[in-house]
Structure 1
Amino acid sequence: MPSAPYGGIGRRIAYHRSVARLTQQQLADAAMIHIGTLRKIEQGKRGAGDGILEAIAAALGIDPSMLLDDRVQASSRIRSAIPDLSAAIAAYDLPHDGPVRPLPELRAAVAEAVAWRLASQYVRIVGRVPGLLGELFRAMHTAPERDPDVAALVVSALRSADAVAYKVGAYDLSARLIELMRWAAPQADDHILDSTVAYVRTETFFAADAHDHGLRTLEIAVDAAAPTGELPTIAARGALHMRAAVIAGRAGDVDAADTHLAEARRLGDQVPEASYAGTAFGPSSVRIHEVSVAVSLGSEYVHRALEVARAWAPPPDLPAERRSGFYIELARAQLWAGLPDDAFESLKVARKNAPQHTRDHRWVREDAATLRRLKRADAESLTSFAEWCHAT
């Protein structure tokens, strides 16, 4: 008897429903679809269109990419949406006519996009953010006076779009999105937002391997940052020091890396771990960056990363992308230290935390390919992982 044609996606939905401890009726109600529809999908008797897939994923609290039969489909969806992001910002100064929701609704929509970014839910971002950007540009240009609240929302929405562009290697688009962030931020008249844009702008220097210039730019931003006082300003300044420590490591400047990391640690001890203006900061984030700095400095400093990992692991309430990043960097350190089994386990944990972020990470592909060459006898699981992330 032939297998059900839609069995793969049905099994994934059933699995995630069981993890969420939901009955079919509860999931159908939460997704606002008929129980019969859900039952047929789980049985593999019918497929799920984009609308239904989105509704089910939202009800389960996961990214739609986790429900697709083939993860290649998720990357294809994301990459095929890149032109939509480009089109959304092409006419930022002359947006098309159309409706604009009230500010509270726009604020809620942007907050949702920020949450997706922190959870590495890129399929959701590309599905919603292009239209949201167009609406926000209209809001900016139709207001009698420039509204700083709308300008701040524009920056946040652009940052969510940039997260996708940068992760899939669309660096030219990423740079354009960041330049628009720099255009909108001054209109928000918010020093914390200025620091946030400087933090994100570092991506352009990472992409170009222009680490010395990036370090100089971040140090200028640190000098211009608002004096520490309230928690958000402390966090904004601390995040800049975290970023500066990593790029100093990439530049091979050990003293600067250690100095910035020490200052980030000092500031991190003054605030609870949280997302401040869309950037996670606090003691846990600083710990993660200790590993990142060690890896940035190179294999001679691998012991620093291993020492952090021996005594600490990211708590589950941290953003998924940040947790995933920790294990990706740790895997590289373990590989350099001659611990291939540990490195593979770390990569699998990274995938569990944020599958799309892990799959699209260049280091994951490189390290999986290296592990595959080192451990030819361990065929099945390692080969499956390498094929999943397109390691060559």
Structure 2
Amino acid sequence: MPAHADGGVGRRIAYYRSVVRPKMTQQQLADAACISLGTIRKIERGERGVTDATLEAIADALGVDPSRLRTDRGATPTPVHDALPALSAAIATYDLPEDGPVRPLHDLRTAVAEAVRWRVAAQYTRIVRKLPDLLTELARAYHAAPAEDRAELAGLLVKAYRSADAVAYKFGARDLSARLVDLMRWAVPEAGDPALTASVAYVRTETFFAARAHTAGLRALEQALDAAPAPTATPAIAARGALHMRAAVIAGRAHDNSAAAHHLDEARTLADQVPERIYCGTAFGPDSVRTHEVSVAVSLGDDHIGRALDLATEWKPPKDLPAERRSGFYIELARAQLWTGLADDAFESLKVARHIAPQHTREHPWVREDAATLRRLKRADSETLTNFAEWCAAT
């Protein structure tokens, strides 16, 4: 029988014994599971593995399903996870789409605009239900289009790929996400839209975040800034400002305080010149920059964390800011609060994020990490915290 050997099982057993079943001592658990006290102690300390039979006996004594204690327990599959293979299949034939119907161009514009709205609202289930067929249809339309329509269809493909990528990236399908970024970069030159090209550079940063190649990502964004259109018209101002926002965050992850401050200053200056809106699929404006100030402070850590807390005291993201961005603000804020010992405040921020955008919050790795930390910090019974941690599969 396989043995679960790392400390994760032991930590979860200790948690359920002392928190979910308060006042249950190690001796009481040993007696209930018909296991020696020494064995229970070693398992909880991570000093020995536990076979499936032993784990089932402990789970039975605790009154929980054994799957809640296993080391290899991960996030419960969702309809979104189940639909990801369909997205992969849809892009596999991007250059050789099967024959089939194609709607008029104005209908395709409407469908892509709807997918963009779903993305910024963090409505990922709707995306995975509709995007596979839409991506196939757009590829079919693009390859069959007359020359005068190809540029617009290429732009529509870029926007649709980006909506699909939002799901792939946030639900952990990093290889699929990287492939979608490659397809965006393939299609965008044909679109001939400098602002859209800048938005693809913005999205490409995901691959650097995923690889923790922050310095390289910063370099790529600064190259994109050099190539971005001059900020004379509103779309160009927003495109450049969004790149500066993104560069500030990845500079923070690279612990480059000077670069982070520079790019944040540039983003603020540009944001003051345009209204808060969605530009080429990216929210930009004064409120978006404020949310990024929190992200930069958390990325830099240490002495900068206080700035995140100060900003949150002064300002909250308005309801007309996209749901994905608002929930991200509270996820970042929760981490700052947790790091400064404000555990209760951190949990409240996570609950706000969940209320705003449940799918985005549930799949965010920081939410799982912070919920798990909160569970370890709590010593009193907290059914709400336990439920939240189970909801996001915190281990």
Normalized against structure 1, the TM-score is what?
Answer: 0.81
1:270 corresponds to which of 256, 263, 273: 273
Paired residues of 1:299 and 1:333 also in contact (CA < 8 A): no
2:115 corresponds to which of 113, 116, 124: 113
* Identity score, percent: 70
Q: Is structure 2 residue 290 aligned with structure 1 residue 287?
A: yes
Aligned to 2:227: 224
Q: Any residues of structure 2 matched to 1:204-243 within 5 Å, and which?
A: 204-243=207-246
Paired residues of 2:294 and 2:311 also in contact (CA < 8 A): yes
2:177 corresponds to which of 163, 167, 174: 174
Which 5+ residue runs of structure 1 have no aligned equivalent?
1-71
Could you tell me which amino acid in structure 2 is paired with residue 114 of structure 1?
V
2:312 corresponds to which of 297, 309, 313: 309
Paired residues of 2:75 and 2:392 also in contact (CA < 8 A): no
Normalized against structure 2, the TM-score is what?
Answer: 0.80
Query: What's the secondary structure of 1:275's corresponding residue?
Result: strand
In structure 1, C-alpha distance between the alignment counterparts of 2:256 and 2:316, rounded to whole Å: 27
Aligned to 1:135: 137
Aligned-pair CA distance for 1:300:
2.7
Aligned to 2:321: 318
In structure 2, C-alpha distance between the alignment counterparts of 1:377 and 1:385, rounded to whole Å: 15
Paired residues of 1:252 and 1:297 also in contact (CA < 8 A): yes
Could you tell me which amino acid in structure 1 is paired with residue 164 of structure 2?
A
2:299 corresponds to which of 290, 296, 300: 296
Which 5+ residue runs of structure 2 have no aligned equivalent?
1-73
Of 142-151 and 175-184, deviating more is 142-151
CA deviation vs aligned residue, 1:289-332 (integer Å, no higher than 9, x gap): 00000011123310110111010000000100000000000000
In structure 2, C-alpha distance between the alignment counterparts of 1:375 and 1:272, rounded to whole Å: 43
Query: What's the secondary structure of 2:78's corresponding residue?
Result: helix
Aligned to 2:189: 186
In structure 2, C-alpha distance between the alignment counterparts of 1:175 and 1:162, rounded to whole Å: 8
Could you tell me which amino acid in structure 1 is paired with residue 295 of structure 2?
S
Could you tell me which amino acid in structure 1 is paired with residue 78 of structure 2?
S
In structure 1, C-alpha distance between the alignment counterparts of 2:124 and 2:381, rounded to whole Å: 32
Higher relative contact order (CA 8 A, sep 6+): 2
Paired residues of 2:121 and 2:323 also in contact (CA < 8 A): yes
Aligned to 2:390: 387
Paired residues of 1:248 and 1:257 also in contact (CA < 8 A): yes
Could you tell me which amino acid in structure 1 is paired with residue 391 of structure 2?
W
1:91 corresponds to which of 90, 93, 105: 93
Structure 1 residues 316 and 195: CA distance shift in structure 2, 3 A: same
In structure 2, C-alpha distance between the alignment counterparts of 1:99 and 1:163, rounded to whole Å: 26
Segments ≥4 residues shifted beyond 4 Å: 72-75
2:257 corresponds to which of 250, 254, 268: 254
In structure 2, C-alpha distance between the alignment counterparts of 1:382 and 1:73, rounded to whole Å: 17
Aligned-pair CA distance for 1:143:
1.2
